[in-house]
Amino acid sequence: MPTPRKSRDKVRATGAAPRSRPALTMQDLYRAVDAARPRIGHPVFVRYTRLGREDAGALVALLARMVADAQAWIGRPPERLWANGSARRGQVCVTVQFQSGATALVGYAAPGDGLDLLILGNHGSMTYDSGIGFSGDTPLPYTLAEPADPRLQAAITRSLESGEPQPLAPS
């Protein structure tokens, strides 16, 4: 029988339930990215893909939130976007051009679970592998306190309907 570690004994002594794995959230990812971001120089490109099982009706709002995430990582407002694909079919990729000239590919694909993130800076890169198709890493739950930006939602919807890039007026 393995010898119990001291820390585990201590937890038991306080009556708290031992947890084999702490639950991570998107807030943990945001915090880690924000802390690491200065090391890659100026962020110039974000590849941000979410695999999920969302209803088609919820996709545009989800993508708008993801574009807002990319905006936060790039640090400049988006200037133009093009949404390619079909919310009904669960496959959408949004190309975003920011005012600084930085770009992003923000995508949603179904079915699946996971999040894939690559941020390129002019001095380096950071990647987050959620374990899509690799190991048993638990996907992060996509929980955000902020509602989706209606301006971004409207632009994504217009682009999906028209098949053309949409300018974004300064907010």
Partner 1 sequence: MPRLPYGVLLVSGSHTHQEDYAAAFAADPRCRLVAVTDEAGIDRRRAALNRRLAKQLGLPYLTDFGEALGRKDVQIVSICAPPERRGRIAVRCAQAGKHLYLDKSLAPRLEEVDALVAAVEAAGVRSQMFSFITQPWAAHARQLVAEGRLGQLRAIHADVFFAKGRTGTADLGSPRREAYPPARHQLMQAKRELDNVGVYPITLIHWLTGRKFRSVHAITANYFFREHQQQDVEDFGLLSGTLEGGMVVSIAAGRYGWTTHPASGINRMLLVGSRRSVVVDAHRPRLEMHTDEAPWTPPPVHPRDPMAFWSSTQQESGVRRKQTWVPLWPAASDVSYFLDCLGAGRESEMSVFPAAHAAEVLLAAYRSASEGRVVTLPLAREQIEPRRTRPLRPS
Residues that bind partner 1 (CB under 8 A): 41-42, 44-45, 47, 49, 51, 80, 82, 84-86, 89-93, 95, 97, 100-103, 105, 107, 109-112, 114, 116, 118, 120, 122-125, 127, 129, 132-134, 163-165
Of 51, 72, 156, 82, nearest to 119 (Cα)? Answer: 72
Cβ closest to partner 1, residue 64 vs residue 120? 120
- At closest approach, how far in Å is the CB of 1 from partner 1? 33
Cβ closest to partner 1, residue 11 vs residue 112? 112
Cβ closest to partner 1, residue 25 vs residue 127? 127
- At closest approach, how far in Å is the CB of 144 from partner 1? 22
- At closest approach, how far in Å is the CB of 161 from partner 1? 13
- At closest approach, how far in Å is the CB of 151 from partner 1? 20
